Every structure is written in C-alpha cells, then in structure tokens.
Chain A
C-alpha cells in the first residue's frame, strides 16, 4: 500500500528510443509532479498536474510529455532519448492548498546508452 509508486525502478535503454515511466498515488491528492535529479544531485521540477491540468512546465524539452489519465496517475513519456536524459526521475504528490509538503515515490533511474 505504497503511497506513491513508480515503475519501473530501473530502466536501461539506447539513445533514440521512446520510454515511459508510470506513477500512481493513493493519497487522494489533487496535484502530482515529476522531478529530475541529475548528476549534480539537484532535484529540478519538470511538471506539475492539478486536476488533469498542466500548471507548470519548467522549460523541459518537448520530448518529455506528461500524461494524466486520472487524478491518481501521472505518467512520464520521453521520446528520442538522449544521453543527457540519464538521471533519477521522482514522482510526487501533494494537496493543492496544503502545506507544500510533497510525498515522493522511490524514484526511477534511467540510463541511456
């Protein structure tokens, strides 16, 4: 009964491929996020979805696209993968009008060869 779950946990793929990472939350939260932790260890916001509406997109390349089939899911699709996409991707959720506290998944480590 993990609150925020991501799959797969590890993903190794070749440059140019298209891949997806799935995220589900069972907390009943209204907002979900994708963060990228790069080699410099910063956690950088990529997307935020509130009630199926994209509310922020931090200059992420359009090869990345979030898809939210419902309030409990926010999947990340990446097209034409590049070496620089190698990172750990974290999904998170929060209440919209809450304290700003985010609940994170365990992370998905993507390695592009």
Chain B
C-alpha cells in the first residue's frame, strides 16, 4: 500500500534547465510534505518542506508546489546544476500529537548533464 508515490524512477536534465520531480499521495490525512536529497553512500538530507495550508514554498533554486485537490506535489529546481544529481525522496506526514513520522516514496534519481 504505497501512500506516497514517485512514479518516475529517473530523470535526466541538461545543466541550466529546469528539473521537475513529481510526487502523488493517497492519504488525505497528510498535512506536511518534505523533499529529501540523497547522494550515494550517504543518508537522506532534508531539502525543503511545505505545509498543507500553503500551495508554494520557495528556497533559492528549489520550489515545492502543492495541489491538495489532486493530492500532488512537485519539486522544481531552477537552474539545475550537476551537483544536484542525486536521488530525491518525497515524504509526507500527518500531524496531530506531534508525531510527524514521514512516509517516504521510493525516490527519483535525477541526473544533471553538464
């Protein structure tokens, strides 16, 4: 039962272009969404998050968009750089009681070509 889905296992983009990574979720109780970035042989590191009361959050080159009615979020990276090449995990959590234990998708491998 995949509550968080990342249907594209990989994405290849030219340096300087926009990278768009997509994520869908099924649990309507999710109210907080996060993106993590993972390099090989390292643990995931937090990148950006968004609360369900917002539809957009921006941090430098990274912007996350949330469409609650479609249960869809996306991560935009502009402009993409070779150092952005990594696996990106989408995660979602349901608040209440401060539990905030994220459920993760299976990740999308982004390759940015110079």
Contact = CB atoms under 8 A, between A and B. Distances in A.
B34 interface: yes
A45 B91 CA distance: 12
Interface of B: 2, 32, 34, 36, 41-46, 49, 87, 89, 91, 93, 95, 98-107
23 contacts: A4-B43, A35-B104, A41-B107, A42-B2, A42-B104, A43-B44, A43-B89, A43-B104, A44-B104, A45-B101, A90-B43, A90-B44, A92-B43, A99-B32, A100-B49, A101-B49, A102-B44, A102-B46, A102-B102, A104-B36, A104-B45, A106-B42, A106-B43
A92 B42 CA distance: 12
A96 interface: yes
A105 B43 contact: yes
Interface in A15-36: 33, 35
Interface of A: 4, 33, 35, 40-45, 48, 55-56, 90, 92, 94, 96-107
Contacts of A98: 100
A55 B99 contact: yes
Contacts of A45: 101, 103
Given A100-B93, A101-B46, A106 B104 contact: no
A96 B101 CA distance: 10
A85 B31 CA distance: 32
Given A99-B49, A100-B93, A105-B43, 17 more contacts: A35-B104, A41-B107, A43-B44, A43-B104, A44-B104, A45-B103, A48-B101, A90-B43, A97-B98, A99-B32, A100-B32, A100-B34, A100-B49, A100-B100, A101-B34, A101-B46, A104-B44
B23 to A, nearest CB: 13
A48 to B, nearest CB: 6
Contact of A33 (B42, B49, B101): B101
Contacts of A107: 41-43
A3 to B, nearest CB: 10
